[in-house]
Amino acid sequence: MHVGLKTAAATASFMMLAAAMPAGAQADELTLCWAAWDPANALVELSKDFTAQTGTTMSFEFVPWPNFADRILNELNSGGKLCDLLIGDSQWLGGSAENGYYVKLNDFFDKEGISMDDFAPATVYAYSTWPKGTPNYWALPAMGDANAWVYRKDWFENPEVAAEFKAKAGRDLTPPKTWDELQEVAAFFQGREIDGKTVYGAAIFTERGSEGITMGITSALYPYGFKYEMTPGKYDMEGAVNSPEAVAALEKYKAVYKCCTPPGYSDSYMDQGLDAFKSGQVAMMMNWFAFWPGMYKDENVGGDKIGFFVNPGQNVEGSTLGGQGISVVANTDNMEGALNYIKWFAQADVQKKWYSLGGSSCHVAVLNDPSYPTSSPFAADFLAAMNNVKDFWQEPSYASLLQAMQKRMHDYVVADQGTAKEALDLLIEDWTEVFEDDGKL
């Protein structure tokens, strides 16, 4: 997902890129809206090629992640004219399709020979389709992403540290493959002194205000086998949302939070995790693949000092989906230009350059290239994650569904209210009310 999600490695910015135009020529103009973070900067660079080829002036409105959903959804709801193109979160598809905010792209794709078979199936399903899984396309997959982990490889490979862990745990100190192992490793590092400094086990998501703790907790729920419904499309949540597996996953996440995070880590999401890891406070950090290129280049904790691992499994393999598709906003005053951008962006050679600049392409020409798994230290993990990603509700009422989960999960994990089973039972009550109001129950 990334619901209204993710972070801000950059502050909100508004940039204009104008190619030199012949005297007297009138340039088309397009404004593309997205979140403010490293991949957006890569898209600015990539889009210079579109300007050069078409003469279209590209403007960008990038909003910090904590404000992204409110800012852009308010824009859509009010019929504003700010965005011609929008890279919006997967959860927005249902509401944006049903409310007429996005252009349905099927006829355009057919006319231009754009095939969704050219994009990874999981990304088409999550970023493009509404109703889910139907061949009704409201976006082109733009930015593949999932929740994953980075760790201090240099600490793990320190001979004294590794020997002490093996003596204590009876196994080698390696990146955890299950949530049980993750807790064990995080607890081992918690409060340990490394290089003369007290360090902590793990930076995980606990943020209450937007979507943080939901993105973190689902990274435990999915590997335990969590499901939203007993029967897909039936909204029969009893026995699914509050299953024994879901209870165990929620208890595990709380255990990791209580035992193994830095002090005062009660309202943390992407930026706080990045800060904790870059400052050398934690052995492991949960965050999105989108940050890994920048993390690998970090002068202090990048390069050979770090390694990456896919979200640990437990009963099954599972990762929380991030990422977005790119859509044409229905009330654009430059429909032709906006569609031309989609057509340009869909090309295989453009997708390859997008990846080379730090974007995360969903195009099979990139992902299926034999060199892809070794193209970065985390590329193979990304392929593994995208084979088992799961997403939050993409219902038109997703915002209400998300707010309920944020509250119930934060109340249990951080505020110590009730049991895991009680939190999930209350969540079912909240979600039932939403779906009843929508006439779906």
Q: What are the chain's domains?
A: 13-146+322-390 (3.40.190.10), 147-320 (3.40.190.10)
Name residues whose C-beta falls within 8 Å of residue 385's C-beta, 6 or more positions apart in sequence: 146, 147, 148, 289, 310, 311, 319
Asked whether the predicted pLDDT for residue 380 surpasses 90, the reply is: yes
N-term to C-term CA, the chain: 25
Mean pLDDT of the chain: 93
Question: What integer pLDDT is reported at residue 365 of this predicted model?
Answer: 97
pTM of the model: 0.91
> Quick check: 227 and 243 in contact, CB under 8 A?
yes
16 confidence band (pLDDT: 50, 70, 90): very low
- With bands split at pLDDT 50, 70 and 90, how would you rate the model's confidence at 22? very low
Residues 6+ apart with CB under 8 A from 303: 296, 297
- For residue 329, what pLDDT band results from cuts at 50, 70 and 90? very high
Tell me how crowded residue 328 is: count the other CB atoms within 10 A of its CB.
24
Q: 139-143, 159-163, 236-240, 390-394: which range is least confident on average?
A: 390-394
Confidence of residue 2 (pLDDT cuts 50, 70, 90): low
| 7 has a pLDDT exceeding 60 | no
pLDDT for res 134:
95
In this structure, are residues 85 and 32 in contact, taking their beta carbons and an 8 Å threshold? yes
pLDDT band at 9 (very low <50, low <70, confident <90, very high): very low
How does pLDDT run across 53-107, given as a tens digit for each residue? 999 999 999 999 989 999 999 999 999 999 999 999 998 999 999 999 999 999 9
Mean pLDDT of 34-38: 95
- Average pLDDT of span 357-361: 96
For 45, phi then psi, to 5°, come to -65, -45
User: Band of the pLDDT at 25, cuts 50, 70, 90?
Assistant: very low
Question: Does residue 131 have a cis bond before it (omega within 30 degrees)?
Answer: yes
**200 Cα distance to chain centroid:** 24
**Residue 66 confidence (pLDDT):** 85
- Give the CA distances from residue 174 to residues 113, 168, 182, in Å, rounded to whole numbers and listed in that order: 47, 14, 10
Average pLDDT over residues 224-236: 97
**CA–CA distance, 377 with 382 (Å, rounded to integer):** 10
Asked if residue 11 has pLDDT above 80, the reply is: no
Burial status of residue 255 (CB atoms within 10 A of its CB: 0-12, 13-18, 19 or more): middle
For 270-318, write each residue's pLDDT tens digit. Answer: 999 999 999 999 999 999 999 999 999 999 999 999 999 999 999 999 9
Q: How far is residue 276's CA from residue 387's CA, in Å, rounded to a whole number?
A: 29
Q: Considering the chain, what percentage of its residues have pLDDT values greater than 90?
A: 92
Q: Is the pLDDT of residue 357 over 60?
A: yes
DSSP assignments along 164-210, one per residue? HHHHHHSS-----SBHHHHHHHHHHHTT-EETTEE-EEEE-----SS
Q: How far is residue 37's CA from residue 260's CA, in Å, rounded to a whole number?
A: 28
